[in-house]
Structure 1
Amino acid sequence: MSEQWDVGRALALSGLFRALQGAGRACASPFLTLYLRHLGLSAPLVGLAAGAQRLAAALCAPLCARCPRAGGRRRLLVAGAALGSVGAGLLLTLVPPAAAGTLGNDTQQPGHRAAAAAGPPPGTSSYGVLSTSAVTNAKAVSKEALKTTAGGLIASGKATLSSPAFQGSFGLTDVVEKQGRGGGEGGTKTNGYLGGPSGWTPPVTAVNWETQEPEMPIFLMVLGAVVLWELLGTSLEWTVDESLYEFLDFVDATDGYGKLWIWSYLGASVGACSVAVVVDHLNCVFSSSITRLAVHFYGYALLVMLSLLVTIFFPIHLPKESSHVNRTGKALALLRGDGRAMLYAATVLLTGAAGAAGHNFLFWQLEDRGSGELYMGLSVAVGLLAEMLLYFFKGKLLRTFSSSTIVAISLSLLAAQLLCYSFLWTAWSVLLIQTLSAFSSGALWWVVSMTVDDIATPGTARSLHAVLQGLCHGGGASLGSFAGGFVVEHFGLAVLYRACCVCLVLWLFLFLIVQSKLPQQKKINYSRLLAADSSDGSDSDEENERDWLVKAMKDESFSRSWSHQHGIN
């Protein structure tokens, strides 16, 4: 029955599924490290959690390839993965905050340990007290001192103790008083959440230090929830994507598959901006254990459940072969056998590490600049939309510039992007910097895809893409996340960005040197050969001369004839 499906309808459903999944992912994933910061985890632990998440995503595809392929079982796997990912995401909202001594890590001046007992200065966030802009890495502040400070502030009623890191499940209980709508101190109107403009300030609350938990047990709970969340979410996307591709391949209609990523980008752009607007304008704590930041995961849960409804109508074609082929191993063997592919794989790994190290803590940087979540959501959308816009000029750019030139430009702009992050002067400037993502991310993958097409043998193209995107880029992002947290802890965010910039510049020079030493040879693309329609051939000598396959066969025949005539075996 599935073979009789209309291809247009299948592609439309797939576009809708990708849009919903992209929106759901963008509601939560970009904001995860910010959420963990507000839970009170230190930068190294946040980096470890982010790295584990990316590593889980990188290893998910090889694991999913061994899952049962029967139609009923596959649909059951999709439903289970969707429900499980929703549950794991919601589980993160129930994790209690870490100990007070770990809250408020300083990302600007490492080693500085101080707590501000006064309200925010004019023109800054109304969350200046016990927030990242006022409590810079309060690890050295004792629990008793902070309790005394909190009690004095509540008694005087002159300051606001409602940092996002301390609301609801982040450690704030017992609302003492609520301020009406109006400007912040110094006559400057501030957003009670992260300092963005609005017309209200948050309620004053007291900190119940006895409810705080030690940092390491909280980290272990977060780590388990994050890894489970990523494994289930990625397996859901992989299973649906693989089912669709098998169906399209069966009906010989895979041409439309290559442009479905646009729907993911559009959905992610809308999702990131929408949830940021909602969170920025919420002025309430839902309960003593649920805060506004939980809206990110509620949005994810809602959108994933909607995407699950779409999968009910998806076609599932079951391939006839039942033997499991180690496609990942074949893809790795192809990469090892081609010097240019190995060079691009190393480039992908390095850019994944540098990009993840920078973006994991970008929202920390924005928060320290007094940004609201709106700028954070817009930064995600601007980067994705810039890649989409540049895609329309893909053909012209690939004809104008060589592959090595495009890679060099991409590396240069990614280095410039990270360098600009280290000098981030205001929150809105991140929107200008994010436009560089069009080349630093999008154009780089054009060249990688071309390389895959050149070296792929029949049936290995998708496996090669999975290896480069998953193992190489995902593995690099995992390593970058692990190292990035420790660099932020001991040296600060600015040093992290500049170190990544220097590494990319050094790799750029090495890339150009190695690229010039590689043999400039044209490989036969067997995948395109088999995809070509043999019925379009012509008996005319002129058209045969245009066919590169005929030329290759003639050259080989001539070589054998010449070798035979000269007695060469």
Structure 2
Amino acid sequence: MMKNGALQKSKQWNVKGAIWLAGVFHFLHSCGSGCLLPFLTLYFRHLGLNATMIGIIMASKHLLALVWRPLSSVLTRQYDKRRTVIVGSLLSSALVVLTLLLFPSTGIQAESGRCNASQPDTDPTTILEWATIPSQSNATVYSINQTSVSTEQPVEVTTVVSSNWSARGLRSVKKPQQEEDPHTEFLGSLKVMDVQHQMFFLVLIVMGLWEFMAAPLEWTADDGLYEYLDFVDATDHHNGVKVWKQLGAAFGNCAVGVLVTSLFCLTGTTLEFYSYTTFMILTVPTAALLPIYLRKRERPTSAGFKALQLVRGNLQAILCAVTVILMGMVNSAVSDFLLWHMQDCGAMEIHMGVSLALAHLSQTGFAPIAGHLSQFLKYHGWLLVLAVVSLALQCLYYSFLWGPWAVIPAQLLAGFSTGALWWSVTSQSEDIATPGTEKTILRLFEALSLELGAAFGSLAAGFVVQKFGVQVLFQGTAVILALWSSALAVLKWKIPRQRQINYSRLLAADTEMSESESDQEKDWLETAMEDATGNNKCIIDKS
């Protein structure tokens, strides 16, 4: 009677419709994030901030998310304010980010030659040789060679910029200035700081406020959908939403790259910010209809501490945690400064957008083969080693880029680095989980990689790029990952594998199964586990 009643109750819930609506929500939100987030460090470079300052800003963003995202998730669940928080986060983050457009650039700027403006008549013999222009940060060296022929053909302008700055997005030459009136200088009241540090603290404040507004959204929406599906015993459909996040990010990367390149002379890089704001506003209607299960107020649970204890008590899980932190550090360094390196190689936004989109599509394409690959390797833990090796090869390749499209082969490896990493981490979470902790353990690994590891990675990468350059950063990370992959392989082989059995999930598969089977055959526990986990996990030995 109870089972029939549960089935009748579940028919009242439109699971397919809920998954479709959640997919649209995450697609639009990821489109907006893909339009702006990967290009932020380039915009900060355009504002005149150096690599160290940008590393500090990005590290602060990750650390704030590390603390505020789980805290806000608990508070919104306790007070049943999820939909309010989601809509408020979308609107407030869409408006706050536009504040960055109010700040004028403080860096040395030179005409890039991307906009074919009409050139004034010049003396054919005029040649502007190498010149050094002082700046608040590092000196920039540039040259402009002007040539002309008797037929009054267009003047050829060539700009050479040092590794600290590139020609993209730079409009006019900033001439050395004499002492300015404090009332006319930008933020003249802060005379104790130079203009560059004024800009640094302003951007830091705005980014902190923006992250405070945006951080609660993803976990809050995800929790609401998961509990909605859990109420009708349909949590197996929850992972189907993830593919829409990757597709949305790929679309946003590619679309904004094409648009900014085409309209650069009219809009510059501001189109990236307006695209983000537009997509956040477009996401609001779907957020208002997003399936969210409303439950009675509950006391805050200690699921996070339980998950931490489970990870700490398993040596394989500790290895996984160390690996995701290291991978998070490297991925953050790549995310922050790969586009810098591409820019110095002559890449424009269309090259960057397409390459970023290919990385997301590569991760999406890895999912269908992950189960077969895990079965071939006999143990999903070896996918973790494969992920580290793949990222090491990517970083080594990045250090030798020679042109705008040269990055493409390395981006196609993202499926075997990022994709394999999270497939292995998900399987590891299931290995050590007790009933009700699977999702929390996976969240713990995500926080260690995407926030804690990313914070350390951004901070360290900023200092390395400032002192040694981008190429040294990528070569150094490749060496570190290669060493860790060797150590990880040895430790994976030496440390025995331990697994927790999720009895509640297995009992739900068949509560009326008889335990009178012969010892010569597989018992019901093994059969249920095979049906529940498929080919991506090893079968528990009866011994």
Normalised by the size of structure 1, how large is the TM-score?
A: 0.77
Instruction: Say which is worse superposed, 75-84 or 299-308, in terms of deviation.
Output: 75-84
1:464-486 CA deviation, whole Å, 9 max, x = no partner? 11110013442111101001011
Q: 1:247 to 1:364 in 2, by over 3 A?
A: same
1:138 Cα shift? 7.4
Q: Retained in 2: the 8 A contact 1:22–1:268? A: yes
Q: 1:338 to 1:468 in 2, by over 3 A?
A: same
Residue among 379, 390, 402 paired with 2:355 = 379
1:261 aligns with 2:242: yes
CA distance in 2, matches of 1:282, 1:264: 27
1:275 aligns with 2:256: yes
Map of 1:414-429 to 2, 5 A cutoff?
414-429=391-406
Instruction: Give 1:230's aligned residue.
Output: 211
1:411 aligns with 2:419: no
CA distance in 2, matches of 1:139, 1:317: 60
Q: 1:551 to 1:283 in 2, by over 3 A?
A: closer
Instruction: Give 1:83's aligned residue.
Output: 91
Residue among 283, 298, 308 paired with 1:332 = 308
Instruction: Give 1:242's aligned residue.
Output: 223
* Amino acid paired to 2:220: T
Q: 1:216 to 1:142 in 2, by over 3 A?
A: closer
Q: 1:455 to 1:520 in 2, by over 3 A?
A: closer
Map of 1:112-151 to 2, 5 A cutoff?
140-141=134-135
Q: 1:412 to 1:158 in 2, by over 3 A?
A: same
Residue among 440, 443, 448 paired with 2:417 = 440
Q: 1:492 to 1:195 in 2, by over 3 A?
A: closer
1:275 Cα shift? 0.8
1:60 Cα shift? 3.3
CA distance in 1, matches of 2:11, 2:90: 25
Q: Retained in 1: the 8 A contact 2:25–2:290? A: no
1:183 Cα shift? 8.7
1:59-117 CA deviation, whole Å, 9 max, x = no partner? 3332123314378632222222111111221112222323x4xx48xxxxxxxxxxx8x
Map of 1:155-304 to 2, 5 A cutoff?
185=157, 214-285=195-266, 292-304=268-280
Q: 1:550 to 1:204 in 2, by over 3 A?
A: closer
Map of 1:480-559 to 2, 5 A cutoff?
480-526=457-503, 528-537=505-514, 539-541=516-518, 545-548=522-525
1:345-373 CA deviation, whole Å, 9 max, x = no partner? 10000011012112211111111111110
Residue among 46, 70, 83 paired with 1:38 = 46
CA distance in 1, matches of 2:202, 2:275: 22
1:297-339 CA deviation, whole Å, 9 max, x = no partner? 1111111111111011123212346111022111111110111
CA distance in 2, matches of 1:524, 1:536: 18
CA distance in 1, matches of 2:14, 2:307: 32
1:519-549 CA deviation, whole Å, 9 max, x = no partner? 2444423453354331344654379742237
Instruction: Give 1:113's aligned residue.
Output: none
In the alignment, structure 2 segments of 5+ residues that lack a partner are: 1-8, 117-127, 148-152, 159-165, 188-194, 530-541
CA distance in 1, matches of 2:62, 2:81: 27
* Amino acid paired to 1:375: H
Residue among 341, 345, 359 paired with 1:369 = 345
1:16 aligns with 2:28: no
Q: Retained in 2: the 8 A contact 1:126–1:184? A: no
Q: 1:203 to 1:228 in 2, by over 3 A?
A: closer
1:260-297 CA deviation, whole Å, 9 max, x = no partner? 11111111111111111111111445xxxxx5212111
Instruction: Give 2:365's aligned residue.
Output: 389
1:126 Cα shift? 7.3
Map of 1:333-352 to 2, 5 A cutoff?
333-352=309-328
Instruction: Say which is worse superposed, 305-314 or 321-330, in terms of deviation.
Output: 321-330
Q: 1:183 to 1:476 in 2, by over 3 A?
A: farther
CA distance in 2, matches of 1:420, 1:549: 44
Q: 1:462 to 1:136 in 2, by over 3 A?
A: farther
Q: Retained in 1: the 8 A contact 2:80–2:295? A: no
Residue among 48, 56, 71 paired with 2:64 = 56
1:435 Cα shift? 0.6
Q: Retained in 1: the 8 A contact 2:324–2:448? A: no
Q: Retained in 1: the 8 A contact 2:31–2:248? A: yes
Instruction: Say which is worse superposed, 348-357 or 309-318, in terms of deviation.
Output: 309-318
1:227 Cα shift? 2.3
CA distance in 2, matches of 1:551, 1:450: 17
Instruction: Give 2:121's aligned residue.
Output: none
Instruction: Give 2:119's aligned residue.
Output: none
1:491-531 CA deviation, whole Å, 9 max, x = no partner? 11111111111111111122122222212444423453354
Residue among 303, 306, 316 paired with 2:282 = 306
CA distance in 2, matches of 1:203, 1:86: 27
Residue among 453, 459, 463 paired with 1:476 = 453
CA distance in 1, matches of 2:57, 2:281: 25
Residue identity (%): 35
CA RMSD of aligned residues (A): 3.7
Q: 1:333 to 1:294 in 2, by over 3 A?
A: same
1:249 Cα shift? 0.7
1:453 Cα shift? 0.3
Q: 1:24 to 1:183 in 2, by over 3 A?
A: farther
CA distance in 1, matches of 2:401, 2:274: 31
Normalised by the size of structure 2, how large is the TM-score?
A: 0.80
* Amino acid paired to 1:243: G
1:97 aligns with 2:105: yes
CA distance in 2, matches of 1:545, 1:336: 32
1:54 Cα shift? 2.1
SS of corresponding position for 1:79: helix
